Structure 1
Amino acid sequence: MARPSDTKTRIQAVARELFALQGIQQTSLRQISDRLGITKPALYYHFASRDDLVRSIIEPMIDDIDRFVTGRERGDPRRLLEDYFDLVWRHREVISMMLRDLNTLSYLDVGERFMAWRRRLVFLLLGDELTVAQQVRATVGLGGMSDCAVEYAHLALDEVKPVAVEAAAAALGLP
């Protein structure tokens, strides 16, 4: 018999896949339970609602990004870009799922957090007295790396990361 944590993990995996494929709002809990071969009440045993299930999938990414941006000091910008790409790559499925259904950002209040994280990353990379051009370059660099992790998720990390980091460094005007 499967342990509850195993079932919970399986539910999250199937939900993540269906959410990314169909969108969060277009995926019913019935579809998830049917795919797993469990009853809908069994799914409700683990997650009280679809929102609860979505939060359980997104919160690990939020926690990782929070730790990443708050636990760092200014240092080597290329190393920061490399580490940031690794972080985004680890969470590429969740990011893709969220992009497929942008309403997720509003009802989970993730949008403002993303902007605060971005501002912190820009500070860590370039400092705080930035020109508009530097701010735009930072947006292009960091946003482009995130986009690459999602767009090229089917490729190997070592094929995407060096190119994405180099492009971000170039956009930021780093040596």
Structure 2
Amino acid sequence: MSARASSEPVSAGRGTKDAIRDEAIRLFAEKGFEQTSLREVADAVGITKASLYYHYASKLDLLLAVVEPMFDDLAAVVAEAERLPWTPESIRRVLGHQLAALMRHRRTGELLVRDTVAIVNAVGDRYPGKMEFHRRMCGWLAGPDPTDVRILRATAAVEVIGTVLWTRPLLPAADDGMIETVLLQSALGVLEGNS
């Protein structure tokens, strides 16, 4: 059993399934999905591998439990955007919600950035539409009857917001408020440009 597991047992108020998911996010982000064994996850939580299998039938099931909340939150932001009129206020609101969703899932985002190929190979066939939200977001941000320039600016703005996924390793002590302010202002600046 790891030192972490023995010093931080699963508490009564925190469910084992949540603890497994939390430790999987941490280990997958630190070591990589393919390099992390289920035994390591179980040890980190302080349970047996058999107990882990009771909650998650496979490593793929555990990965899906890790990435689906992020995908669901981002899909909800796109759905919200598509119900709003395309105005400067709506654009700011939608980019702010996109940024907030990514802030909530930074550890998962680190995993996706680190192991993109492994993750896409593992979940892409099951959820081909999950990746579609990025294209839809860029399309909405580009506005009605977009020019090539607007499409490129919209795509770049989404990428600027995605920079939040790099902030933990890049700036571990940075204030969340500062990160949100800088990235939102930067994305809006890229989107507005001078043309």
Normalising to structure 1: TM-score of the pair? 0.88
Q: Determine if contact 1:61/1:91 at 8 Å carries over to the other structure.
A: yes
Sort the Cα spacing of 1:27 and 1:168 in 2 relative to 1 into closer, same or farther, 3 A: same
Q: Which residue of 2 aligns with 1:169?
A: 188
Q: Deviations over 1:126-151 (max 9, x none)?
A: 3242222222221211112111x122
**Offset from partner CA, 1:64-104 (integer Å, 9 cap, x none):** 11222113323421222112111111111111111111120
Q: Which shifted more, 132-141 or 8-17?
A: 132-141
In structure 1, what residue type is equivalent to 2:113?
Answer: L
Distance of 1:90 and 1:174 partners within structure 2: 28
Matched with 1:113 is 130
Structure showing greater relative contact order (alpha-carbon pairs closer than 8 Å, 6 or more residues apart): 1
Residues in 2 aligned to 1:4 and 1:46: alpha-carbon distance in whole angstroms: 17
User: Gapped runs of 5+ residues in structure 1?
Assistant: none
Correspondence for 1:81 among 95, 100, 103? 95
Task: Give the deviation of 1:174 after TM superposition.
Answer: 6.0
In structure 2, the gaps of 5 or more residues are: 1-9
* Residues 33 and 43, structure 1, Cα contact 8 Å, conserved in 2: yes
Taking only the aligned residue pairs, the percentage that are identical comes to: 29
Q: Deviations over 1:1-43 (max 9, x none)?
A: 9669711111111111000000000000011112222111111
**Could you list the runs of 4 or more consecutive aligned residues of structure 1 that deviate by over 4 angstroms after TM superposition?**
1-5
Residue 156 (structure 1) aligns with? 175
**CA RMSD of superposed structures (Å):** 2.2
Task: Indicate if the aligned counterparts of 1:98 and 1:104 stay in contact, CA closer than 8 A.
Answer: yes
CA contact (8 A) 2:42 2:49 kept: yes
Q: How many residues align?
A: 173
> Does the aligned pair in 2 maintain the 1:105–1:111 contact within 8 Å?
no
Query: Does the 8 Å contact 2:77/2:94 carry over to 1?
Result: no
Q: Give the Cα separation in 2 of the matches to 1:3 and 1:163.
A: 39
The equivalent of 2:158 in structure 1 is: 142
Give, in whole Å, the separation in 1 of the partners of 2:11 and 2:184. Answer: 42
